[in-house]
Amino acid sequence: MAEARWPLGKTVAILILVWVLLGLLPMLARMIVGAGFVPSTQWASSAGTYGLVAGLATALLLLWVVQKAPRDEKDTDLWRFAGASAALLFGFMIGKNVVDVTGPMAIALVAGDETELQFSVERADGGRVKGCPSPVELEGLPMLFDRACGVPQAVRDSLAPGMNIILTGRGTSLGIFARQITRAD
């Protein structure tokens, strides 16, 4: 039986797989736990550059891995382009998530306590988003992690863009698993 060839070696392949799983962890947590993690505005602004660098590096690494994959004679240029594009988009999202969300989320899970964090409302009148009923969108946060879900309609009706709210739940100053939302009057 022929052994699989690893372009970077098995150890590096395992490290890449772990990195990808770490990037998927925040999305899996939202699907499994139900309550999504919301990073703090302070963390999002201070980690933004590092998240972009990690996203770009991961995107380029996955693009390289896709380019090194064995080719089939049936592969068309369109399929190669689609694979390269998917590697870039997926890689960027994964790398950015590891820095922007996974780190603070892991700290909140392990060392978190009952916490309150203040956020600014970007939009409170949006309809249902897949996996996030009754969302309130928050300003200055990474895409996919910029909303509090399950907010009662009465609370949403009382909010307007630019208003400050307080999310309460398990977390740290880096982010929170929001359970409750209140206006910061």
**Average pLDDT along the chain:** 83
Domain ranges, ordered by start, for the chain? 10-183
- CA–CA separation, 98 vs 93, rounded Å? 9
Beta-bridge partners for 116: 168
Helix, strand, coil shares of the chain as percentages rounded to 5? 50, 20, 30
Residue 132 DSSP one-character state: B
Of the chain, the percentage scoring pLDDT greater than 90 comes to 22
Structure tokens at 127: 């309809």
Is the pLDDT reported for residue 124 higher than 80?
yes
Cα 6 to chain center, whole Å?
Answer: 28
- CA–CA separation, 156 vs 126, rounded Å? 9
Is the pLDDT reported for residue 74 higher than 50?
yes
Segments in 69-151 forming alpha helices (H): 77-97, 103-111
pTM of the model: 0.76
pLDDT band for 1, please (50, 70, 90 cuts). very low
Sign of CA dihedral 69, 74, 77, 83: negative
Beta-bridge partners for 171: 113, 176
CB atoms within 10 A of CB 126: 14
CA distances, 56 to each of 12, 21, 82, 94, 120 (Å) = 18, 17, 18, 10, 28
Question: What's the length of the chain?
Answer: 185
For residue 60, what pLDDT is reported?
92
